[in-house]
Structure 1
Amino acid sequence: MREEEKNRTSQNSKIQQFFRKRWVFPAIYLVSAALILTSVLMYQASRNDLNPIAEQPGKPQTEKGQDAEEVAKQVETVTAPALEKENIQVIKNFYDAKASKEEQEAALVSYNNTYRPNQGIDLAQKDGKEFDVAASLSGTVLRAEKDSILGYVVEIQHEDNVTTIYQSLASVAVEEGETVAQNAVIGKAGKNLLNEKNGVHVHFEIRKDGKALNPASLLDKPATAIEDEAAASKETEAKPQEEMKEEKQEDKKDSEAAVPSKNA
């Protein structure tokens, strides 16, 4: 019994001596702090593995942390220039060089004893009444003014040097320099002197680099299709010119062959 008591006393004294050393408690504190810090870091790492991207309020992000709007900008679809699109119809088509003779004649505009090709499409409501004209694409208003022949005219600038033109308006609801959203009301359909027979309507044009394109072939298509339509239009115009050059060269050869030689 005495030996056991002596051993216990000896062990207690050693423990007490150990804790009396100055470096013991700081060392224990540092080790404990290191263990706690390691545990926290491991916990955060496991959380990041489960949810690697922390979303910021109001800013949708991609896997690389970039704003979704910068990575994939939403492309608008070309819409008909009316607020209530289901109630309107095309009453005069675009003059298409590839169309039949009858279709081309129907797409001519007669004014002051002269005929000119229709550079857009004319749309009217099925009941012939006035209707709200809306922006086909979002953009910036280049002009909004009254023309003595065309009625009120609104021209909107879009990306990639694309413009949309709205004529035969009875009134306008936008100003020059104003930014408008797609399908925003820009005015009321009305009448003009250029196309009196059409009654209340809106004349709608889509232009790329100033060149008029057929709006009917672009409606309900992405705005990127405008570039493709413009390229196709250039190719169509280039072919007849090339054919005319070839015909002239052939005629020249035929005429040269028909001229008798001086030495004959």
Structure 2
Amino acid sequence: MREEEKKRSSLKNFFKKRWVFPAIYLASAALLISMLFWYQSAGKNTADDQNLTKNSKNLTGMSGEDSVVEVNQAFENVAMPVKNEDEANIVTQFFDTKASTEEKEAALIVDGSTYRPNMGVDIAMKDGSEFEVVASLSGKVDSARQDPLLGNVIEIEHENGIKTIYQSVKDMKVKTGEHVKQGDVLATSGTSQFNKEAKTHVHFEIRKDNTALNPIDFFGQPFTAFEKVEKPADTSGETNNEVEEGTGDSEQEQTETGKELQPEKKETEE
């Protein structure tokens, strides 16, 4: 009992000292002021970050995600739309009007009695198995649609008017408006009614301003290589035997126009 009374007595004596309450008041005030400054500073930093993000989007005209996709894309090399290029094989070449007669004939797709130029390349596995179709370049999915004739179609937009097209696919993993990175899985290889001879494959096209380019010329090349592509000359005076270079007709457009092409025959000497 005496010890408790001594403790209470000492505590009362402590609070009777003149400097105790002012010290407690000053410490409380300092703590309160510190908390106010911290709260205001945190709120200001958050507002600044939001304004910076908003201003950045307004200045560039795109969101942060768009910026990342475009920056990465500028430093990418054009890749084949497969995970393992060593296991892939090009079964149908691109129709190039400057190629030899034999090469042109090899790049024609036989549709009954009609011959149509291949505006891309048809890629299949060497063992004929199905495979995952991946994005050749980073970009934005412009269209992912079903097509019973072409075996479904995925179109991806890139910078500077470049577009990559993936046809004859199934089990599509992407939707219109989505952003994809190079190497992302887009779909699974499939077949098409348009080119049955290719069997399980992916029909891959590269276009610049809707002009078909030979993908083989760009595989492994930096994205900046597209800047060197010149606008094709007017070939409207050529015959139907020689397909207009860069007409921009996709396989779908060719089926709609029904344009018939006959393989070129070698001229015989008189």
Question: Shared topology, TM-score over 0.5?
Answer: yes
- 2:92 and 2:136 map into 1 onto residues whose CA distance is 18
The letter of the residue matching 1:213 is L
* Identical pairs, percent: 44
TM-score w.r.t. structure 2 length?
0.59
Q: 1:194: which partner in 2?
A: 194
Using a 3 Å threshold, how does the CA distance of structure 1 residues 170 and 179 change in structure 2: closer, same or farther? same
Residues 148-178 of structure 1 deviation map (CA, whole Å, 9 limit, x = unaligned): 2100110000011100000000221100000
- 1:197 and 1:129 map into 2 onto residues whose CA distance is 15
Matches within 5 A, 1:91-240: 91-228=91-228, 230-231=229-230, 234=232, 237-238=233-234
- 1:85 and 1:210 map into 2 onto residues whose CA distance is 26
Residues 180-231 of structure 1 deviation map (CA, whole Å, 9 limit, x = unaligned): 0011100000111111011100000000000000000100000111232x31
* Cα pair 1:205 1:213 within 8 Å, conserved: yes
- 1:202 and 1:212 map into 2 onto residues whose CA distance is 16
Using a 3 Å threshold, how does the CA distance of structure 1 residues 86 and 243 change in structure 2: closer, same or farther? closer
Segments of structure 1 that go 5 or more residues without pairing to the other structure are: 1-68, 245-264
- 1:112 and 1:88 map into 2 onto residues whose CA distance is 27
Shift of 1:243: 11
SS of the aligned residue for 1:105 comes to helix
- 1:223 and 1:189 map into 2 onto residues whose CA distance is 25
SS of the aligned residue for 1:124 comes to strand
Shift of 1:86: 2.0
Bigger radius of gyration: 1
* Cα pair 1:152 1:171 within 8 Å, conserved: no
- 1:178 and 1:128 map into 2 onto residues whose CA distance is 30
Matches within 5 A, 1:23-62: none
- 2:91 and 2:199 map into 1 onto residues whose CA distance is 10
Q: 1:83: which partner in 2?
A: 83
The letter of the residue matching 2:107 is A
- 2:158 and 2:225 map into 1 onto residues whose CA distance is 14
* Cα pair 1:90 1:124 within 8 Å, conserved: yes
* RCO higher in structure (CA 8 A, sep ≥6): 2
* Cα pair 1:144 1:176 within 8 Å, conserved: yes
- 1:79 and 1:104 map into 2 onto residues whose CA distance is 24
Segments of structure 2 that go 5 or more residues without pairing to the other structure are: 1-67, 240-270
Q: 1:38: which partner in 2?
A: none
How many equivalent residue pairs? 169
SS of the aligned residue for 1:225 comes to helix
- 2:112 and 2:223 map into 1 onto residues whose CA distance is 36
The letter of the residue matching 2:86 is E
The letter of the residue matching 2:108 is L
- 2:215 and 2:84 map into 1 onto residues whose CA distance is 18
- Aligned-residue Cα RMSD (Å) equals 2.2
- 2:86 and 2:123 map into 1 onto residues whose CA distance is 12
- 1:134 and 1:155 map into 2 onto residues whose CA distance is 12
* Cα pair 1:208 1:227 within 8 Å, conserved: no
Shift of 1:242: 9.5
The letter of the residue matching 2:98 is K
- 1:113 and 1:170 map into 2 onto residues whose CA distance is 28
Q: 1:252: which partner in 2?
A: none
- 1:241 and 1:140 map into 2 onto residues whose CA distance is 33
TM-score w.r.t. structure 1 length?
0.60
- 1:104 and 1:243 map into 2 onto residues whose CA distance is 15
